[in-house]
Amino acid sequence: MKTSLGSKLFDGFNVTFLTLFSLFSFLPFLYVVINSFSTSASVIPTSFSTEAYRYIFSASTFTQSLKVSIFLTLVGTLFQLIMTSLMAYSLSHKHLPGRNLVILMVLFTMLFSGGMIPTYFVVKATGLLNSLAALIIPSAISAFNLIILKNFFQAIPEELKESARIDGSHELGLLFKIVLPLSLPAMATFALFYAVGIWNQYFNAILYLTDAAKYPVQVILRQVIILTTGSIGDTSEIEAVTYYGNSIKMAVIVIATVPIMIVYPFLQKHFAKGVLLGSVKG
């Protein structure tokens, strides 16, 4: 195929623009990572040092919040994934009486909600206020994820399930032996979405938690970086920042982001395959 000059010019522009855009996506974070290893007050890092990291890991408030976040993410992801797949599996049976009504109910929650204040009172009434469960249970199932997963389960050939039924498999056995193993890419994707959602949540924590010892890492992060009022250790924050420069703020960001950066490459290949497309058409 011969390519015209205009076409070549377009390709050149296209590649340049997208390369710049991907650098734009990446450079700010890279800047933060590099500067977290420097103690100099200047904008361009001049020396290598891990002092900022040693400082934040000696600060009990920060390590405590890190433990809370890790715990919440592990337990919460498992819980939300089980809740979602059980319900999605049940809704994937087209002949199930009442199924359409339940799906309609779920879809409606995507369009309308009671809002922050009534939800707060329900969380309070169910006894979750100031408990870590308030960061997991009130957002147990994402309606969007549920519908996609239901569609995914529906696409599994009926013959596979039928043959397992004939072999005397129970519904629960069917779910664990046939359906879930076949849906591993989807499950991995949703595990990532739920884990990131829990790890990153900030507002629910300040809405539902009053006890500072239960704060997850995002709340501490905000105190250190944006408000610069929180103290994360024995030395006051102001003192620490003048001593170590901005590197403390940057180190805190890096540590709070590392867990996501570690799992991202492993799961990236799954959602790149268009797991999400089926979602658009419920």
Partner 1 sequence: MSETEAAVAPLRLEKKKPLWLRMWKERWLYLFMLPGLAYFIIYKYVPMWGVLMAFQKYQPHLGIFGSEWVGFRHFERFFSEPEFWTLLRNTLYIALLDTGIFFPLTIVLALMLNEIRSELFKRSLQTLVYVPHFLSWVVVVGISYILLTTEGGIINELLALLGFEKVQFLMSEFWFRPLIILQMIWKDAGWGTIIFLAALAGINPSLYEAARIDGASRWRLLWHITLPGIRSVIVILLILRLGSFIDLGFEQIFLMVNALNRGVGEVFDTYVYYVGMQQGQFSYSAAVGLFKSVVGLILVLGANWLAKKLGEEGIY
Q: Which of residues 102-141 bind partner 1 (CB under 8 A)?
A: 102, 105-107, 109-123, 126, 137-141
Asked if 16 is part of the footprint of partner 1 (rule: CB under 8 A), the reply reads no
Q: Does 154 bind partner 1 (CB under 8 A)?
A: no
d(CA 153, CA 26): 36
Closer to partner 1 by CB, 24 or 48: give it. Answer: 24
From the list 59-67, 94-102, 177-185, 230-238, the region that binds partner 1 by CB under 8 A is: 94-102
Minimum gap (Å) between residue 95 Cβ and partner 1: 8
Q: 176: which DSSP letter?
A: I
259, amino acid identity: P
Q: DSSP secondary structure string, 211-260?
A: -GGG--HHHHHHIIIII-----SSS-HHHHHHHHTTHHHHHHHHHHHHHH
Token couple for 5: 């000059």
For residues 67 to 86, the per-residue mask of contacts with partner 1, x marking binding by CB under 8 A and - elsewhere, is ----------------xx-x
Q: Tell me the two tokens of residue 10.
A: 């377009």
Among 21, 176, 243, 266, binds partner 1 (CB under 8 A): 21
What spatial distance separates the first Cα and last Cα of the chain, rounded to whole Å? Answer: 40
Binding characters for partner 1, 160-199, by CB under 8 A (x = yes): ----------xxx--x--------------------x--x
- Give the residue, chosen from 133, 202, 235, 270, that forms a contact with partner 1 under the rule CB under 8 A: 202
Q: How far is the CB of 169 from partner 1 (least distance, A)?
A: 12
> Which tokens go with 261?
């950066």
Tell me: does residue 10 bind partner 1 (CB under 8 A): yes
Q: Residue 33 and residue 170: Cα distance in Å, rounded?
A: 51
CA-based torsion, 183, 274, 194, 69: positive or negative: positive
- Please work out the total of residues on this chain that contact partner 1, with binding judged by CB under 8 A: 97
Report CA 113 to chain centroid distance, whole Å.
22
Of residues 15, 46, 17, 43, the one with CA closest to residue 31: 43
Contact between 242 and partner 1 per CB under 8 A: no
Q: Tell me: does residue 48 bind partner 1 (CB under 8 A).
A: no
Q: Per rule CB under 8 A, is residue 243 in the interface with partner 1?
A: no
For partner 1, which is the closer residue by CB, 97 or 168? 97
